[in-house]
Amino acid sequence: MKIKNLENRKNGRRPAFTLVELMIVIAIIAILAALTTGVAMRFYGVQQQRNSEVTVTKVYEALKDQWDTVIRQAQQEPISPQARAIANYAGGSNDIQARVIHIKLRLKQEFPMNYTEILNPYSQNPPNNGSGWWDLDPLPTYVRTLQNAGFSGSNPPTPAENSTCLAMALSRSRGGTQFNLDNLGSNAKVIDTSTGLVMIADGWGTPVVFYRWPWQSVGGDVDSLNPAGPLNPGVTQSVFRDPQDPTGALYNPSWWLPNHSWSSTSPIWSPFEMQCHSLFTKPPLPGTQTVGPFPWTSGPVPYPPTNIVPPPTYYVGAYEYYMIPVVASAGPNKRFGLYTTLSMNPPPPNQWEYGAELNAGAFAAPDPMKPDGSTDDSDNIYSFRLRLGARGD
């Protein structure tokens, strides 16, 4: 054997690898590959997160610019008959209140969250009295886009539908300026394969959506940014809470109270809330005006189930939420986990709690941004969290 190995060395040849040596080499290669793959995947995940945050930030900045432009325009326009009809419902009002409602209706028209709002901005669920109500024409540019795609919407609306509406709204020229979606990057501007329409996607390829008035924001985070004070306002502190209502006109009890005439036989939402967003909390916060008591089975359904006999009564309190538009990504798990308007799957009964706020508000007001009871919203990326601490108004 020694003679043979000596001959191999003389001839420039080395003995073949042993089985143990081969196994060691393979193990080393596998470890290096695993380490490299892990680092690459972590880097890719971090890059997706950063891309999503950049996209959400850019979209929010563009949306806020367009949002402010519409508000400035609406402040100078004649007050629409729709706004006056809502302001005068169940009692007279004044021009200040009607102006605030007009601004909100214009924001709804310019920034629809689904195709139904594009085709029919204001006349969903008109007041029960059937009088003093007019339709406002949808924006022709949005309608033509839907007609060319041959699509009228879905029930409930999908995130892709919301994202398409957002892309259309940002692409609209306002105040002499227009946002170019190409500025978001090639991976953020994508096509919804179900409609052929442009939408905005995050780093994971999921539609980026927006919430016009997030009155039931996740954990109250948006409302907590309110520069007027904490979530325990007195009557005077309520002023300036809503950036579109700087004088607190919607907090007027002579108008707010009659609009909440709930009963067990005829539960209604006020016309304003049907078109825009909620104006109450349940239970009332200290210092707020209250309405009630109401039977437990009154108010918009579904109402919280209870085994208490007889069923308890409850009060609601007037409240102005601090609301700024919010842009959101579903995060790495690609699921928002939020209870949205027109949802066919409200939260399970164990999500209700006696005295808790009526989650049924989602049926009356769009975009409540309330968790659906799952943990899917825990990794969401929200524009207000990316700029937490800023006033946002």
Measure the CA dihedral 292/298/301/306, to 10°: 100
338 in helix, strand or coil? strand
Asked if 213 and 367 count as a contact pair (C-beta separation under 8 A), the reply is yes
Asked if residues 132 and 85 have their Cβ atoms less than 8 Å apart, the reply is: yes
What local confidence, expressed as pLDDT, does residue 61 receive? 93
Token digits of residue 275: 């078109």
Instruction: Determine the pLDDT at residue 110.
Output: 94
Domain boundaries, the chain: 46-386
3 state SS of 197: strand
pLDDT at 90: 54
Q: Which of 181, 162, 156, 185 is nearest to 171 (CA)?
A: 181
Beta-bridge partners for 325: none
Closest to 223 measured CA to CA, from 209, 235, 236, 237: 237
The span from the CA of 190 to the CA of 17, in Å, is 53
| pTM, two decimal places | 0.79
Q: How far is CA 309 from CA 296, 305, 306, 312, 313, in A?
A: 11, 12, 8, 8, 11
Per-residue pLDDT of the chain (393 residues; tens, 9 = 90+): 555 555 555 555 566 667 777 788 788 887 877 777 766 666 556 888 999 999 999 999 999 999 999 999 999 999 888 888 888 765 556 788 899 999 999 999 999 998 888 888 775 444 444 444 445 678 999 999 998 888 776 666 788 999 999 999 999 988 877 889 998 887 899 999 888 999 999 999 999 999 998 877 776 788 777 776 655 555 555 666 788 988 888 877 677 776 666 665 555 567 787 788 878 777 777 777 787 787 777 665 445 566 777 777 778 777 788 889 999 999 999 998 876 554 434 433 333 332 223 333 333 445 677 777 778 888 999 998 887 544 444
> Is the backbone of residue 91 left (phi > 0), alpha (psi -120 to 50) or beta?
left
Per-residue H/E/C for 243-291: CCCCCCHHHCHHHHHHHHCCCCCCCCCCHHHHHCCCCEECCCCCCCCEE
CB count within 10 Å of CB 126 equals 17
